[in-house]
C-alpha cells in the first residue's frame, strides 16, 4: 500500500515537472491529472471527480489516469485554500465545485478568499431545486403555499439538507422573494445534515415542506408519499420528472440549478485553461457522459469558459445580496 502511495506521488510530481517543461509550447495534457473532491468519498463532489475522471480517461483525453483526491473540510474551503495557496500554477489540477461553493464564497465563509482567485472551467450538468410537501398536506400548489407565507411567514416550516443560510434554505427564500413574500427572515427553516433526513421528517408529517434537489425525491415520489409542488427550472424536466410543474408556470420566476462543475488554479497557464474548457465542452457531448447524467439524475446544464465565469460572478453577487437582505450576513 505504501509502495502504491509513493508511486502515485511520484507520478503526480513527475506530471507537475512535465507540465513545467511543456509550458513553453502550447499546452499538452500530462500523462496524468488530479481532481480534488473537497469532501469525503461518497458525496456529490466525489461523484463529480470520479465520473468525469473516468470519462476523461475512457475517451482518451488523458493518456494516463485521473486521480481523485479527497480533501474535505469547511465545505470546500480547505480545498479552495489549498488550490489558491499551494497549487496556484498547477496546470494538471481540477477541483470539483457546485452551487455550495458559490454560496460559501458569497457569504464570506472562506475567510479572505473570493471567486476571482481561481479560474472557472465549466459545468457539466445540474440538479434542479424542488419544493415538496407530504401526501396529506393541505397545499396542492406552490401558490397556495406562498399565499400562506404571505399571510404569516411562520406558518409553513421548511426542512432541508443544508445548514441555515445554505443552498436549500436560500432556494425557499429566493422563491418567496420573487413571489413578494414579506418578512423573509421570519420564514422557518429546519436544517438537517442531509436531504434524506429532512425528507423523512416531511414524509412522516412532522415538518410542513421539503426543499431540496430533484434527484433526492425520486423514491418518495414514486411511492406517492411526497407531492412535489414545483421544480425550480426554466422548463419542465425530462421524464420521469415531466409531471412536476415549474415555478415559472405558476407565475413565480424562480430558477435554482445546483450545478456541478470545476475550477482550476488561478495562475494555471492560459493554454491549459483553454484545453480544459474545450475538453469539458467535448466531454459534455459524449454518449458516455449522457449515460452517466441519466443514471444519476443530472439534468442538462452546460456553461463554460467566459460565460461560466460570468455566471459564477452573477450567482455569487445574487446570493450576497439575498443573504444581506434576509440578515444572514452583514
Partner 1 sequence: MDTISLLMQGFAVALSPESIMFAVAGAILGTLIGALPGLGPANGVAILIPLAFSLGLSPTSSLILLTSVYAGAMYGGRISSILLNIPGDEPAMMTCLDGYPMALKGKAAEALAISAIASFIGSFIATIGLVILAPILAKFALKFGPSEYFALFALAFATLGGITGKNQFKTLMAAAIGLMIATVGIDISTGVQRYTFNTLELFEGVDFIIAIVGLFAISELLFFLERHAGDGLKQVAINKLKLSAKDIIKVLPASIRGALLGFVSGVLPGAGASLGSFISYTLEKRTSDKGEFGHGDPRGVAAPEAGNNGAASGALVPMLTLGVPGSGTTAVLLAMLISLNISPGPMLFQQNADLVWGVIAAMFVGNLVLLLLNIPMVGIFVKLLSIPPKYLMPIVTLIASVGIYSVSHSALDLYFMVGFGVAGYIFRKVDIPLVPIILGMLLGPEMEKSLRHALVLSDGDWGVLFNSGLSIGLWTVAILGLVLPIVVGPIVRAKMARSKNSTS
User: Where does this chain bind partner 1 (CB under 8 A)?
Assistant: 1-2, 5, 39-43, 46, 69-75, 77-78, 81-82, 109-111, 154, 157, 163-166, 188, 190-194, 196-197, 199-201, 203-207, 219-220, 328
Closest CA to 174 of 16, 322, 6, 25: 322
Least Cα distance to 308 among 124, 127, 171, 55 occurs for 124
Residue 16: closest CA among 6, 29, 2, 4: 29
Our CB check for partner 1 shows the closer of 205 and 251 to be: 205
Q: How far is the CB of 222 from partner 1 (least distance, A)?
A: 10
Beta strands in 40-195, from DSSP E residues, in sequence order: 66-70, 93-98, 118-134, 157-160, 188-191
In the complex, least distance from residue 50 CB atom to partner 1, rounded to whole angstroms: 10
Residue 304 Cβ vs partner 1, minimum distance, rounded to whole Å: 28
Adjacent-strand bridge partners of 227: 133
Place of cell 496546470: 91
SS3 210: strand
Question: Which CB sits closer to partner 1, 220 or 241?
Answer: 220
Could you tell me the smallest distance in angstroms from the CB atom of residue 23 to partner 1?
25
Closest approach, Cβ 113 to partner 1, in A, equals: 9
Beta-strand ranges (E) seen in 46-87 are: 66-70
| Interatomic CA distance for residues 213 and 231, integer angstroms | 9
Q: 113 or 244, CB closer to partner 1?
A: 113
Amino acid at each position: 500500500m505504501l509502495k502504491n502511495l509513493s508511486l502515485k506521488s511520484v507520478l503526480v510530481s513527475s506530471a507537475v515537472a512535465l507540465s513545467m517543461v511543456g509550458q513553453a509550447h502550447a499546452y499538452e495534457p500530462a500523462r496524468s491529472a488530479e481532481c480534488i473532491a473537497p469532501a469525503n468519498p461518497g458525496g456529490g463532489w466525489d461523484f463529480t471527480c470520479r465520473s468525469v475522471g473516468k470519462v476523461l480517461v475512457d475517451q482518451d483525453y488523458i493518456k494516463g489516469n485521473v486521480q481523485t483526491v479527497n480533501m474535505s473540510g469547511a465545505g470546500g474551503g480547505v480545498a479552495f485554500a489549498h488550490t489558491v495557496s499551494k497549487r496556484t500554477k498547477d496546470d494538471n489540477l481540477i477541483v470539483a465545485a457546485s452551487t455550495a461553493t458559490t454560496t460559501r464564497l458569497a457569504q464570506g465563509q472562506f475567510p479572505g478568499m473570493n471567486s476571482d482567485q481561481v479560474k472557472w472551467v465549466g459545468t457539466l450538468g445540474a440538479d434542479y431545486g424542488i419544493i415538496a410537501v407530504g401526501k396529506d398536506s393541505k397545499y396542492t400548489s406552490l401558490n397556495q403555499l406562498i399565499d400562506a407565507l404571505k399571510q404569516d411567514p411562520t406558518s409553513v416550516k421548511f426542512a432541508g439538507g443544508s445548514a441555515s443560510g445554505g443552498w436549500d434554505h436560500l432556494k425557499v427564500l429566493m422563491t418567496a422573494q420573487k413571489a413578494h413574500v414579506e418578512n423573509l427572515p421570519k420564514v422557518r427553516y429546519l436544517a438537517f445534515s442531509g436531504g434524506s433526513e429532512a425528507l423523512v421528517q416531511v414524509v412522516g408529517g412532522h415538518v410542513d415542506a421539503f426543499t431540496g434537489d430533484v434527484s433526492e425525491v425520486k423514491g418518495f415520489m414514486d411511492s406517492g408519499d411526497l407531492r412535489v409542488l414545483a421544480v425550480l427550472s426554466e422548463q419542465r424536466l425530462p421524464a420521469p420528472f415531466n409531471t412536476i410543474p415549474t415555478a415559472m408556470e405558476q407565475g413565480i420566476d424562480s430558477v435554482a440549478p445546483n450545478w456541478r462543475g470545476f475550477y482550476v488554479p488561478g495562475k494555471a497557464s492560459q493554454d491549459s485553461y483553454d484545453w480544459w474548457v474545450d475538453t469539458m465542452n467535448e466531454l459534455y457531448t459524449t454518449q458516455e457522459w449522457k449515460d452517466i447524467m441519466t443514471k444519476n439524475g443530472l439534468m442538462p446544464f452546460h456553461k463554460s469558459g467566459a460565460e461560466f465565469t460570468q455566471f459564477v460572478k452573477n450567482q455569487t453577487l445574487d446570493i450576497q445580496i439575498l443573504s444581506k437582505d434576509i440578515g444572514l450576513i452583514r
